Amino acid sequence: MTNNRNNKEEHLIEKLIAGDEPAYRQIIDNYRESVVRLCRGFTGTPDDAEDLAQDVFLEVFRSISRFRRQSSISTWIYRIAVNKTQNFVRDRKKRAYTNYAPEPDKESSEDEGSAADKKLMQKEHAEALHNALESLPAGQRTAFVLSKYEDLKYTEIAEIMKISVSAVESLLFRAKKNLQEKLFNYYRKNLE
Amino acid sequence: MNCSRIHKHLIFYIEGSLDDETVKSVEEHLRLCPYCTAIADKLKLSLGVIEQEKEVLADIEFADKVLIRMHSEKRPVSAPILSIFKYVAAAAVIIFGVFTGIKLGKVAAGSAEYTSGALSDEEYYLYDMYQEPIESFFLLNHDDNE
């Protein structure tokens, strides 16, 4: 079964290297949701996530000939996505982007009564979460996003981040502790 | 359990990763403490954002957008040729500079033609004494005074 999957993956990689467009589309089809989700976790905004996801696939297609096949293609794509999003967050911080200001979701056109209040509340909580996430050290943030947004197992996260499983456990524990502290401080100020 | 201890456990309580005994203590405290309950509710809502953001909407144009970008970025295939041309142009400028330098050097050092007084048109313009007759005039006058 695994051999069959490996053969299929190998075949797909060969097609990608040859510049086969249906193969490009298949890769996008297989991994778009995961990549967009991951980008959303890191950036916090749907538009940035979409742009970044496009960048990730462009990078995948451009560098497929350099893929050494020491891991599965999904791990390799996750690595590219993590690198791209880390760079994006770092650049955003450099541009003195101190406060995360989420853009409204495109589908949020209802602007009356409780629906609007709900959206506003949701926006506030999203803002609190992403501000807290952005303030985490890169390793903790990566482990947290891979775990919570992609529901990946510790072993998968370890492979993507090229660290041990125990290091992933430790990163996740510290990430949650720090997140809790930051969110607690944020809400305490609001409640006072 | 006091409030500060509860706060340390809240995220794990919401996540459902605490042991039964700790869960019991946290719930007991939350029943009696409206402040911690309010914090726990807000924390729950913030972490709930993750579940909402995990939903990725279908985008039938996504692949097209990526492929269009890829093709548009591929188009300047002449880029390597351009970069080669850049080096060739730089080399030509350097060769021209060296050649001109040698030529000028010869003139400045006073070539055989100059000492014999037979200056070419080109050398005439490069030899600045001929371009500044006033200066030469004063120099000559100075010699006369001596």
For residues B13 and B26, the answer to whether their CB atoms sit within 8 Å is yes
Same domain, A122 and A170: yes
| Domains in chain A, number | 2
Q: What is the pLDDT of residues A143-187, one digit of tens each?
A: 999 999 999 999 999 999 999 999 999 999 999 999 999 999 888
Same domain, A111 and A182: yes
- Cβ distance of A176 and B12 shorter than 8 Å: yes
Rounded to the nearest angstrom, the gap between the alpha carbon of residue B113 and the centroid of all alpha carbons in its chain is: 53
Same domain, A92 and A53: yes
Contacts 24+ apart (CB under 8 A), A11-18: A12/A73, A13/A64, A13/A67, A13/A69, A13/A73, A16/A61, A16/A64, A17/A64, A17/A65
CA dist A41 and A95 (Å) reads: 20
Dihedral, CA atoms, A29, A35, A36, A37, nearest 10 degrees? 120
Q: What is the pLDDT of residues B40-87, one digit of tens each?
A: 999 999 999 999 999 998 888 999 999 999 888 865 545 556 667 888
Same domain, A73 and A125: no
Same domain, A84 and A69: yes
For residue A50, the chain B residues in CB contact (below 8 A) are 59, 62
Same domain, A65 and A155: no
In terms of pTM, does the model score above 0.80? no
Same domain, A70 and A111: no
C-alpha distance from residue A50 to each of A35, A101, B91 (Å) = 9, 17, 45
- Cβ distance of A32 and B7 shorter than 8 Å: no
Please state, as a whole number, how many other Cβ atoms lie within 10 Å of the Cβ of residue A31. 20
For residue B12, the chain A residues in CB contact (below 8 A) are 176
B125 pLDDT higher than 60: no
CA dist B5 and B26 (Å) reads: 9
Q: What is the DSSP letter of B129?
A: G
Same domain, A77 and A163: no
Alpha helices in A44-149 (DSSP H): 46-63, 73-94, 113-134, 138-148
For residues A49 and A43, the answer to whether their CB atoms sit within 8 Å is yes
* Rg of chain A taking only CA atoms, in angstroms: 19
Please state, as a whole number, how many other Cβ atoms lie within 10 Å of the Cβ of residue B35. 12
- What count of CB pairs under 8 Å joins A to B? 92
Can you give the CATH number for the domain in which A8 is found?
Answer: 1.10.1740.10
Instruction: Name residues 37-76 of chain B within 8 A of A (Cβ).
Output: 38-39, 42-43, 45-50, 52-54, 56-57, 59, 62-63, 65-67, 69-70, 73
Instruction: Determine the distance in angstroms separating the CA of A69 from the nearest CA of chain B, rounded to an integer.
Output: 23
Ordered by start, the domain boundaries in chain B are 3-53, 76-145
Say what the ipTM of the complex is.
0.80
Same domain, A119 and A56: no
**Euclidean distance between the first and the last CA atom of chain B, given in angstroms as a whole number:** 111
For residues A175 and A138, the answer to whether their CB atoms sit within 8 Å is no
Q: What is the DSSP letter of B56?
A: P
Token couple for A100: 């995360």
**Torsion sign across C-alpha atoms B43, B46, B48, B50:** negative
* Of the residues A98, A127, A148, the one at which a domain ends: A98
At residue A114, the 3 state secondary structure works out as helix
For residue B7, the chain A residues in CB contact (below 8 A) are 180, 184
What pLDDT, on the 0 to 100 scale, is given for residue B146?
Answer: 47
- Cβ distance of A179 and B11 shorter than 8 Å: yes
- Cβ distance of A58 and B11 shorter than 8 Å: no
C-alpha distance from residue A160 to each of A157, A169, A192, B74 (Å) = 5, 14, 42, 29
For residue A129, the chain B residues in CB contact (below 8 A) are 46-47, 49-50
Structural domain of residue A143, as residue ranges? 104-192
Q: What is the pLDDT of residues A56-114, one digit of tens each?
A: 999 999 999 889 888 899 999 999 999 999 999 888 877 754 455 555 555 545 555 67
A184 vs B39, B59, B62: nearest CB: B39
Instruction: Determine the distance in angstroms separating the CA of A95 from the nearest CA of chain B, rounded to an integer.
Output: 25
Q: A103, A180, A191: best mutation site toward chain B, by most B Cβ within 10 Å? A: A180
